[in-house]
Structure 1
Amino acid sequence: MTKRFEDKVVVITGGSDGIGRACARRFAEEGAHVYVTARRQEMLDQAIGQIGHGAIGVQGDVTKLADLTKLYDRVGHDHGKVDVVFANAGTHQPIPLEALDEAAFDATFDLNVKGLIFTVQKALPLMTAGGVIVLNGSVAGSKTYPDQSLYSASKAAVRSFARSWTLDLKDRGIRVNVVSPGATETPLLRGFFDAAPGAEEEVIKGVPLGRLGHLEDVANAVLFLASSESSFVAGHELFVDGGVAAV
């Protein structure tokens, strides 16, 4: 195991399961001081036990600015810096256009857009040259799927932030990129497939590489974007989707 992140301080939002937890474990294995957030304390405690390596959980909701302040106050007190932010927290709920309401809009954009913006903004006082921000996007930000207009729009915004923030932060030496997974074997997606017989097969038919993504596929991409191996990569969207966006 390499130690690309020895003594680096890494903050991951939405890290209690799925992609966030998989990335947290990998960062921790490679020597990072990992801080993970989640809304539910019980799930956060379980995740910290699975991540190991001294990872720390800070309960909080990224849509609440006071919770983000609490998170970075803890990190600042412990280490005085942040080297990597993986803004991962998000939600996905397919909703037909005619069924959209204000509550659905608020739930999606508060978490996928507002929470992501302030996760990054509030980290900046602790970041210096060489710092890295990785945003969790989605292939849905570039591809069209039925009943996903709201989700797709929120992820298109994430892609736009990476471009804009690359310019905003270039003089500070902070890089920003997006990792955009396709259909990935997460608890959320598995629950959807279990409730919709035949859906998994249909999704896989549309993937050129013929399978769902694994959590490690996405973690590999996130750690690459966060490491010095990608030091000349900025404002980029890295699709981890089996070829869906490209073909």
Structure 2
Amino acid sequence: MNRLQGKRTLITGGTTGIGLETAKQFLAEGARVVITGRSPDTLAQAQQELGKEVIVIKSEAGEVSEQKRLAEQIAEVFDQVDAVFLNAGIGVFQPLAAWDEASFDNQIAVNLKGPYFLIQSLLPILANPASVILNTSINAHIGMPNSSVYGASKAAMISLARTLSGELVERGIRVNAISPGPVSTPIYGKMGVPAENVEQMAEAIRNQIPLKRFGEPIEIAKAAVFLASDESSFMLGSEMIIDGGMSTL
């Protein structure tokens, strides 16, 4: 299919998991793609997997100055950007008593502050029309223990989908959110949980999902394709919840 034929797109956190799969789906739909990541190793692996036509840029998602630099780099590649998938994020899950200011600030910087200022930095090159997609989380809705800061950061992103839609609609910029439930991605190995406990934790999570399985990255990527395409032109400030029924049953 060619739902994104010729569209100039940016995917942050595009080297693994949902971001990498979204890059593959965007390419399959005819898009021109820029991805970002922070690890030289995963950047190189993604470049090899996606092909030379994809532009790969090293960028720190939580640094405001990096967002300005990223926008400048993209402007050198594309005169305008038609679709942006703000996917980069981190998940730290721990009880309230364990948080300190530095770790709080880091999670908020990567999940909220950086994406906010990236949208601001991209404003001069966002096309009319353009689609901005925010990757949020079902944790903004379900009150999972130990997810207080993560859930708050994602709830703020859902709010941004609404408020920025109202602000940018006259510019032809649509902002929408995707809120995945648990998805099989490398994030679960990055949460500081001992390896021997990861499967135990995963099984406990699966038991909370009516469909009794984790989502797959392609299931989220397909939703991102839809929101980036003209098929979703009547969606504005909306949230697509893709969680296997976790938040509804």
Common topology (TM > 0.5)? yes
Residue 40 of structure 1 corresponds to which residue in structure 2? 39
Residue 221 of structure 1 corresponds to which residue in structure 2? 223
Residue 159 of structure 2 corresponds to which residue in structure 1? 160
TM-score, normalising length: structure 2: 0.94
Residue 16 of structure 1 corresponds to which residue in structure 2? 15
The residue identity in structure 2 corresponding to 1:213 is G
Residue 204 of structure 1 corresponds to which residue in structure 2? 206
1:70 Cα offset (Å): 2.5
Bigger mean CA offset, 197-206 vs 124-133: 197-206
Q: Give identity over the alignment, percent.
A: 37
Count residues with an aligned counterpart.
246
The residue identity in structure 1 corresponding to 2:174 is R
Bigger mean CA offset, 194-203 vs 118-127: 194-203
The residue identity in structure 1 corresponding to 2:183 is T
Residue 73 of structure 1 corresponds to which residue in structure 2? 72
The residue identity in structure 1 corresponding to 2:138 is V
| Distance in 2 separating the partners of 1:30 and 1:131 | 17
1:53 Cα offset (Å): 6.1
The residue identity in structure 2 corresponding to 1:246 is T
1:18 Cα offset (Å): 0.8
Instruction: Name stretches of at least 5 consecutive residues in structure 2 with no aligned partner.
Output: none
User: Pairwise mapping of residues 229-240 of structure 1 onto structure 2 (< 5 A)?
Assistant: 229-240=231-242
Bigger mean CA offset, 47-56 vs 104-113: 47-56
Bigger mean CA offset, 136-145 vs 201-210: 201-210
The residue identity in structure 2 corresponding to 1:86 is F
The CA deviation string for residues 141-191 of structure 1, in whole angstroms up to 9 with x for no partner, is 111111111111111101100010010011111100000111000012256
TM-score, normalising length: structure 1: 0.95
| Distance in 1 separating the partners of 2:241 and 2:153 | 16
| Distance in 1 separating the partners of 2:153 and 2:31 | 30
| Distance in 2 separating the partners of 1:78 and 1:152 | 35
| Distance in 1 separating the partners of 2:9 and 2:187 | 24
User: Pairwise mapping of residues 1-247 of structure 1 onto structure 2 (< 5 A)?
Assistant: 2-52=1-51, 54-190=53-189, 192=193, 194-196=195-197, 197-247=199-249
Aligned CA-pair RMSD:
1.5
| Distance in 2 separating the partners of 1:229 and 1:216 | 18
The residue identity in structure 1 corresponding to 2:38 is R
Bigger mean CA offset, 102-111 vs 194-203: 194-203
Secondary structure at the aligned position of 2:127 is classed as coil
1:41 Cα offset (Å): 1.9
Alpha-carbon contact 1:162-1:235 (below 8 Å) kept: yes
Instruction: Name stretches of at least 5 consecutive residues in structure 1 with no aligned partner.
Output: none
Bigger mean CA offset, 47-56 vs 202-211: 47-56
The residue identity in structure 1 corresponding to 2:177 is V
Secondary structure at the aligned position of 2:142 is classed as coil
